[in-house]
Amino acid sequence: SQSNKGSKPCKLDSIESLATALKQGCFSNIVVLIGAGISTAAGIPDFRTPKTGLYDNLDKYSLPYPTAVFDISFFRRDPQPFYKVAKELMPTSPQPTLAHRFLVMLNDRRMLRRIYTQNVDSLELAAGIPQSRLVQAHGSMTRAHCIECHAEHPIEKVREAMKNNQIPVCENCTGVVKPDIVFFGEGLPERFFTLSVNDLRVADLLLIIGTSLVVMPVAGLPEMVDDQVPRVLMNKEPSGDIGERPNDLLLLGDCQETISRLSALCGWQDEIQRQKL
- Tell me the window of 4-12, 106-114, 229-237, 265-273 that interacts with ligand CNA (CB under 6 A): 229-237
For residues 173-192, which are near ligand CNA according to CB under 6 A? none
Asked if residue 10 belongs to a known ligand binding site, the reply is: no
Indicate whether 120 belongs to the interface with ligand CNA (CB under 6 A): yes
CB 254, min distance to ligand CNA, A = 4
Indicate whether 53 belongs to the interface with ligand CNA (CB under 6 A): yes
Distance CA 178, CA 45 (A): 21
Distance CA 209, CA 202 (A): 20
Which residues lie below 8 Å from residue 28, measured CB to CB, with a gap of 6+? 1, 2, 4, 110, 111, 113, 204
Indicate whether 107 belongs to the interface with ligand CNA (CB under 6 A): no
Size of the site for ligand CNA (CB under 6 A): 29
Q: What's the one-letter identity of residue 124?
A: E
In the set 138, 145, 150, 153, the catalytic residue is: 138
**How many CA atoms, within 13 angstroms, populate the side-chain half-sphere of residue 35?**
24
Opening angle at CA 170, ends 86 and 166, nearest 5: 40
Grouping H, G, I as helix, E, B as strand and the rest as coil, residue 31 is strand
Indicate whether 254 belongs to the interface with ligand CNA (CB under 6 A): yes
The smaller minimum CB distance to ligand CNA, of residues 26 and 101, is found at 101
Which one of residues 121, 124, 199, 204 is an interface residue with ligand CNA (CB under 6 A)? 121
The smaller minimum CB distance to ligand CNA, of residues 4 and 235, is found at 235
- Tell me the window of 100-108, 126-134, 164-172, 236-244 that interacts with ligand CNA (CB under 6 A): 236-244
Distance CA 236, CA 223 (A): 20
Residue 265's Cα: distance from chain center in Å?
A: 25
Asked if residue 170 belongs to a known ligand binding site, the reply is: yes
Q: Is 138 a catalytic residue?
A: yes
The smaller minimum CB distance to ligand CNA, of residues 247 and 256, is found at 256
Burial class (CB in 10 A: 0-12, 13-18, 19+), 52: exposed
- Tell me the window of 24-32, 100-108, 117-125, 266-274 that interacts with ligand CNA (CB under 6 A): 117-125
Indicate whether 40 belongs to the interface with ligand CNA (CB under 6 A): yes
Which residues lie below 8 Å from residue 275, measured CB to CB, with a gap of 6+? 101, 104, 105, 127, 128
Distance CA 154, CA 2 (A): 41
Which one of residues 19, 44, 221, 266 is an interface residue with ligand CNA (CB under 6 A)? 44
Asked if residue 255 belongs to a known ligand binding site, the reply is: no
The smaller minimum CB distance to ligand CNA, of residues 236 and 245, is found at 236
Indicate whether 136 belongs to the interface with ligand CNA (CB under 6 A): no
Distance CA 79, CA 249 (A): 41
Distance CA 9, CA 126 (A): 32
Indicate whether 215 belongs to the interface with ligand CNA (CB under 6 A): yes
Which one of residues 10, 31, 36, 68 is an interface residue with ligand CNA (CB under 6 A)? 36
Grouping H, G, I as helix, E, B as strand and the rest as coil, residue 87 is helix
Distance CA 251, CA 12 (A): 11
Interface with ligand CNA (CB under 6 A): 35-37, 39-41, 44, 46-49, 53, 118-121, 138, 210-212, 214-215, 235-237, 239, 254-256
